[in-house]
Amino acid sequence: MKIIAILRNQRMFNILKEYADLNNFGIVHYTNVEDFLNNYSLYINDDIYMVVNAGIEIGHNVLSLKNIKAIQQFGIGVENVDLEEAANNKIPVFNVPTKGTANATSVAELSMFYALALARDYNGCINSINHGIANEPMGISLAGKKFGIIGMGGIGLELIRLLKPFSTVIYGIKHTKPEKDYAKKLGIEFTGSFADDFKIILPKLDFIVLALPLNETTQNILNGETINLLKNGSYVINVGRAGLIEKYALIQALKSGKIKGAGLDVLWEEPAHIRDEIFHFNVIATPHIGGATESSIHDIARIGIENIKNYIDSKSLKHCVNAEVIN
C-alpha cells in the first residue's frame, strides 16, 4: 500500500508525512501528475491512495488505473477531480470539510484582510509611497458597512464572528432555506437562501464575499446580470473558487467603476501571473493561500490521513463526496 501525494508545496508534504508516518503508511511525493505517471511502474503492484492539491486535475489517466483505491483531496473543493470517472471506477473521493477546523478560520482571516485592505485602498497607499505622497488616499471605515456572505458553511460562520466586532451589518445566504430565526441566533441582519434571496440582497451590499463551493449551480453566480444589481462602487471578495465569477464581467465592472475593487485568493488560471489583465485594475490578490497556515495544514493533513485509515480499516465513507455511488 502506498500513499501518493501530489502536492505543489514541500512544506505541505512534510506535514502530511508526519501523520502518515504515525500510521506506518508509506508515502511518496510528486508535484505533478505527469511525474507520477512516468514513474507509475514502481507502484503497479501497490494499492494506491492518492492525496491531491486543489487545481491538480485528476482525470481518466489516473482514475482508470486499476490499483487506485481512493482519492483524498487536500482541502474541501473537489472540482479538480473527475467525479463521473471516479464513479465509473468505484473510486471514493474524500475531502476535508472546513467546519470546526483551522482551515475555516484561516480563510475567514484572509477575507478580513481583503476587506480591510480594500477599505483603506491598499493599492492606492502603495502608489502614494512610490511617489512620495503623504496623507493619501482616503479610505472608508468598515463600521456600518453592509456585507453579504454568500455561503454559510465553516468559512462563512467564522467570517461572521470576525466581522461582528467591526459593527458591520451582515446578510447571509445559504444554499438551502435557513431555519426560522437563524439570523437572530447568529446576531446578524438577515439570512436567506440562494434561490430566493441572493439577487434581492445584492443592491444593499457594500461588500460581497463568496465563500462557497463551485458546482453547476454556483458557476458564474457573479456575472453581468448579478454584478449590475450590486451597489455602485461596491467591493467583491472571492475565497471560494474562480469559477464563481465570470471573469470578463468582473473586468468590465472594474473598468467602469461599478466594482471599486476586488480581493481574490482564487484566479482563473493558477498559478496566476502579473500579466493577467485582471491586475490592470484595483485588485488585491494572493496565490490561493487562504487555507495555507500551519494550523490549517495540520488539520487538513490529520483528517485526510484519518479518512484514508478509516476507509482501509472499515470501508468508512465519512467525508466521502461520492458515497452514494460507492454504496
**Which amino acids are annotated catalytic?**
241, 270, 288
d(CA 74, CA 291): 10
Residues 6 or more apart from 229 whose CB is under 8 A from it?
199, 202, 203
Kindly report the number of other CB atoms within 10 A of residue 127's CB atom: 13
**Helix orientation angle between 294-314 and 10-22, rounded to the nearest 10 degrees:** 40
Sequence-ordered alpha helix ranges (H) in the chain: 10-22, 33-38, 60-63, 83-88, 102-119, 122-130, 154-163, 182-186, 194-201, 224-229, 247-256, 294-314, 323-326
Three cell numbers, residue 278:
485582471
Residues 6 or more apart from 143 whose CB is under 8 A from it?
166, 167, 168
User: CA angle, 184 as apex, 179 and 186 as ends, to 5°?
Assistant: 85
Residues 6 or more apart from 316 whose CB is under 8 A from it?
307, 310
Three cell numbers, residue 171:
446578510
Pairing verdict, β 2-6 and 48-52: parallel
Residues 6 or more apart from 51 whose CB is under 8 A from it?
3, 4, 5, 6, 7, 16, 72, 73, 74, 304, 308
Burial zone of 7 (CB within 10 Å; 0-12 exposed, 13-18 middle, 19+ buried): buried
d(CA 209, CA 148): 6
